[in-house]
Amino acid sequence: MKKFAMLIALAVVAVGCVLGADAQLDVPEGVSLAIAPLATQKAVFLNSLKEEYEKIDTWLANAEDLSAFVVDGQTIKFPEGGADPAVYKNRTTDVDSVEPTETVYSEDLDVYDSQNYKIRNIYLHALPFDKVQFYTRKSADSIVKKEIADAAYAFAPMQAGTKSIVMATTGDAADGFKMLTLADVLTLARQADRMQMPEGNRNLVLPSDWWWDLVNNNEILKGQLKYQQNTGVIDPKIVNYYGINIHKSLGDKLGLGYDTNTSKKAAQGAAITGTVCPAALFFCGQEVYRAGGQFEMFYKDKSVNTDGRAYEFGFQHRFKAGHQMSNDRYCGLLYKAKVS
């Protein structure tokens, strides 16, 4: 068996040498990559990270994906179209012309680094692929959670405006705040219509306790869950009401708050105390963006780590999320009003 595993490992080395560091390789279960070259190991683990990252489905998937506009895996460039043309009725003179002015945005993607893992050699004789796969999955999950929190904060408006909504909940008291109700969701839909927000991809993202309170108190929404498959704890639940997809956020870490004293969005992750109330997010998927860029792995094999005598590895991903148009248009923030 050892001889067979050694032959497979050598085959992996040979294939890696031929195909290069970016090759996609399938490693048999139980076979260690400890003797394979670092480039081959990194190729396998990076592919694994991408697979784990991409299969985590969240509400963020409803934002338009502009990854195709990322240059060299690091910078996103995309245009904002000019103003709508004027329309004339029964005009008897020549129709004039307007030259549209486009604004081209160029922004560097943010860099997200997962903390390095260090597995000391004293605890194992070789590093099985399954163990790295396990920690790769945890790294992907952690990176996604941080990116989601940052996207939520970026999508939420700073304050109420001509194209952005800020409204308070009006329901029964719970833990010192008023709960969100279906009547509030209907009010949100009406305000969105008045502001001519795009239809078809309207999304309300709620912290998990908000979501459960809303769904459990309404037979309309509770009935929708009977037709949904339970796909695991990572996947959010979604219900729909008056054209709005109502998402349960990944965990309860949106980090959104609203300061009733300043009438503005609180700093990201601000403590819910004093005049700062917990908040939720509303956005139109066509008006916001997410963009993923380069994945990298930083890896040190135990054979070359003379100081730590351990396997050390961590991952990095470039990512950005925000509004496609200036002035935070077509979005909203709902906050739980305090019970007086």
In a domain, residue 77? The reply is no
Whats the size of the chain, residue-wise? 340
pTM (two decimals): 0.79
Give the count of alpha carbons within 13 A of 46, CB side only: 18
Percent of the chain with pLDDT over 90: 44
Helical axes 2-19 vs 38-54, angle rounded to 10°:
80
Q: Is the dihedral of CA 333, 322, 267, 144 positive or negative?
A: positive
| Residue 156 DSSP SS3 | coil
CB 63 within 8 A of CB 37: no
CB 105 within 8 A of CB 79: yes
Q: Among 261, 262, 319, 271, which residue's Cα sits nearest to residue 145? A: 319
In a domain, residue 41? The reply is no
Q: What is the mean pLDDT of the chain?
A: 81
Q: pLDDT (tens digit, 9 = 90+) per residue, 226-277?
A: 666 655 444 457 888 889 999 988 666 788 999 999 999 999 999 999 999 9
CA distance 243 to 186: 10
With residue 173 as reference, give the H or E element that holds it.
Answer: strand 173-174
Cα 171 from chain centroid? 29
Q: pLDDT (tens digit, 9 = 90+) per residue, 100-140?
A: 776 777 889 999 999 999 887 666 655 566 777 788 888 98
DSSP for 249-318, written as a single string: PSTT----EEETTTTEEPPTT--S-TTEEEEEEEEEGGGEEEEEEEEEEEEE-TTT-TTT-EEEEEEEEE
- Tokens in use for 179? 């709960």
In a domain, residue 182? The reply is yes
With residue 222 as reference, give the H or E element that holds it.
Answer: helix 219-225
In a domain, residue 194? The reply is yes
With residue 76 as reference, give the H or E element that holds it.
Answer: strand 75-80
Number of domains, the chain:
1
In a domain, residue 103? The reply is no
CB 141 within 8 A of CB 48: no
In a domain, residue 229? The reply is yes
CA distance 154 to 31: 43
Domain with 248, as residue range(s), is 53-65+115-340
Beta bridge partners of 338: 177
In a domain, residue 16? The reply is no
Residue 220 sits at φ, ψ, to 5 deg, of: -60, -50
Q: pLDDT (tens digit, 9 = 90+) per residue, 149-193?
A: 999 999 999 999 999 999 999 999 999 999 999 999 999 999 999
In a domain, residue 316? The reply is yes
